[in-house]
């Protein structure tokens, strides 16, 4: 019986495939679009049973090729570029594809765990899984919001587990292919290596320089949440996946730089020291992001805890230090 992971060569998907294969779940069907061919490196150290292009996978589902041989679909595949303006492309990839997989799982009584996003909350100040707090700022957020709404309308028709996971700002290994959409920890690491300094946005929306705050969550924690629900098929719902604490971009910068300095045997520095030495500098806030940017997010993880997930989440200081150590190892420094 297969466990299907869509977006399997992508960021969260590849980490999920790795975790599954490490624990012995080797009947993994990896589904993705390798038009960006260098993503293959994310699967090299993973044990999978087969790979299919996502369009071929859908065609095979429609002709009944997988009837009775799929236990679960972990749907991580999506366009995650929050600046993408082509709404037709976004809706086809994020809404229609997800809906088709959900409908198939409902027909076949298959577990369905899918990636939603904190982008559904927009610029709101409350981040709990309630439609009253949802107002996306871009078409990416809307594509995720719309499927969550579709699921709610059809909640009574589900025949097996359905779980939507609203990821907050995820960072960690296997994101190198994401370019500008990679985490700030990844960008800060590369900036510091190249130039000995990191750049953050100046203050906006009432926040000081670098003091915009997000709920930064390690990809290891995001994967653990996925596996928890996979192993508890009786639990369904839409859940936030974050730490439950907002930390500033300055916090991420300090954690990244100090992890690099520790690796090099150098003295750790405070934020004020990094600022005074010009290691942290601030650049103007981009005009094209105004009105489309979340200056503050903090996951309410009450529902996640009530569903029985009790594992502590890593702080920025803990998670970024581990991530930077891995990046340094891969860079040979």
Q: Choose among 194, 198, 219, 220: nearest CA to 333.
A: 194
Catalytic positions:
140, 178
The phi and psi torsions of 71 (rounded to 5 degrees) equal -85, -40
Tens digits of pLDDT across the chain (333 residues): 999 999 999 999 999 999 999 999 889 999 999 988 899 999 999 999 999 999 999 999 999 999 999 999 999 998 777 777 788 988 998 999 999 999 999 999 999 999 999 999 998 999 999 999 999 989 999 999 999 999 999 999 999 999 999 999 999 999 999 999 999 999 999 999 999 999 999 998 899 999 999 999 999 999 999 999 999 999 999 999 999 999 999 999 999 999 999 999 999 999 999 999 999 999 999 877 777 788 899 999 999 999 999 999 999 999 999 999 999 988 887
Which stretches of 168-314 are assigned E, i.e. beta strand?
169-171, 198-201, 213-214, 216-218, 237-241, 247-248, 280-283
């Amino acid at each position: 019986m297969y466990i299907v992971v869509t977006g399997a060569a992508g960021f969260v998907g590849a980490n999920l495939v790795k975790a599954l294969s490490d624990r012995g779940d080797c009947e993994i069907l990896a589904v993705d679009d390798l038009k960006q061919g260098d993503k293959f490196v994310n699967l090299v150290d993973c044990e999978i049973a087969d790979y299919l292009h996502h369009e071929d996978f859908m065609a095979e589902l429609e002709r009944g090729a997988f009837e009775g041989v799929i236990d679960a679909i972990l749907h991580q595949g999506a366009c995650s570029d929050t600046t993408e303006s082509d709404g037709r492309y976004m809706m086809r990839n994020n809404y229609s594809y997800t809906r088709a997989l959900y409908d198939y799982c409902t027909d076949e009584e298959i577990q369905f765990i899918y990636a939603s996003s904190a982008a559904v909350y927009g610029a709101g100040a409350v981040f709990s899984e309630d439609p009253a707090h949802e107002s996306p700022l871009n078409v990416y957020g809307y594509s995720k919001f719309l499927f969550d709404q579709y699921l709610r309308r059809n909640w009574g028709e589900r025949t097996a587990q359905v779980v939507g996971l609203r990821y907050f700002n995820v960072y960690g290994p296997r994101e190198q292919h994401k370019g500008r959409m990679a985490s700030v920890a990844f960008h800060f690491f590369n900036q510091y290596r190249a130039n000995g300094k990191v750049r953050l946005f100046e203050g906006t929306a009432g926040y000081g320089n670098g003091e915009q705050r997000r709920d930064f969550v390690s990809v290891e924690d995001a994967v653990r949440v996925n596996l928890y629900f996979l192993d508890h098929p009786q639990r369904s719902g839409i859940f936030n996946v974050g730490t439950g604490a907002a930390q500033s971009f300055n916090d991420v910068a300090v954690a990244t730089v100090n992890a690099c300095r520790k690796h090099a045997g150098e003295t750790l520095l405070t934020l004020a020291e990094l600022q005074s030495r010009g290691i942290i500098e601030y650049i103007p806030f981009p005009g094209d992001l105004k009105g489309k940017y979340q200056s503050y997010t903090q996951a309410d993880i009450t529902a996640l805890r009530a569903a029985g997930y009790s594992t502590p989440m890593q702080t920025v200081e803990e998670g970024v230090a581990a991530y930077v150590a891995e990046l340094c190892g891969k860079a040979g420094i």
